[in-house]
Each structure stands twice: as C-alpha cells, then as structure tokens.
Amino acid sequence: MTTDYIADRSPYARRRSILEIIYQSEGMDKESLMRLLREHGTQYQWIGMQVKKEYLTVIPLPGARTRYTVTPKAVKELRLDQSPLWKEEG
C-alpha cells in the first residue's frame, strides 16, 4: 500500500486505520506515532483532534517521554477489537 493510496482515503478510514495500528501496538511513543502519521499523510494536529474526541490518550512518562494509547471509547465505537488480526485462529 503506498502513501498516496492512504492519503487519498477518507479521513474517517484513515482515522480508523491509524487508531487500529496504535491499538494493535498496545500504544506508541511520540516518534513512532509521528512516523505513522506521516506515512498516512496526516498532520500532527490529528493527535489533538483524537484526544478531544476521547479516542486517544496521552500518557506522560518519566524523562519527558510521551506514550499514546487508544481509549476504550474508540475501541467500542470504531470496533477496533473486531480486526481480523485480533481473532484467534481456530
């Protein structure tokens, strides 16, 4: 999948995709999230919008580090736990 393809997708599809990746990663540090946003053609302001919508939590860590995690609200509303990657193989 190319960056152009990702950037051309609807903002809602991009949001879900980014949040799903963060969810599957069990959170991300700032550097990883910024790289992910660039790959998806998304501005850093996206973080603040998702925090305001209560889809993303910012967790300050020692050493002036930051971790970003997906909220239970986002998991429920966007069904992030319904991803095929999360289903157990039978």
Q: What is the pLDDT of residue 1?
A: 47
Q: What is the pLDDT of residue 9?
A: 74
Give pLDDT tens digits for 7-62.
567 889 999 999 999 999 999 999 999 999 999 999 999 999 999 999 999 999 99
For the domain covering 3-79, report its CATH number: 1.10.10.10
For residue 23, give the nearest of 84, 85, 80, 78 by alpha carbon.
80
Cβ neighbour number for residue 64 with a 10 Å cutoff? 7
67 Rama sector, left if φ>0, alpha if ψ -120 to 50, beta otherwise:
beta
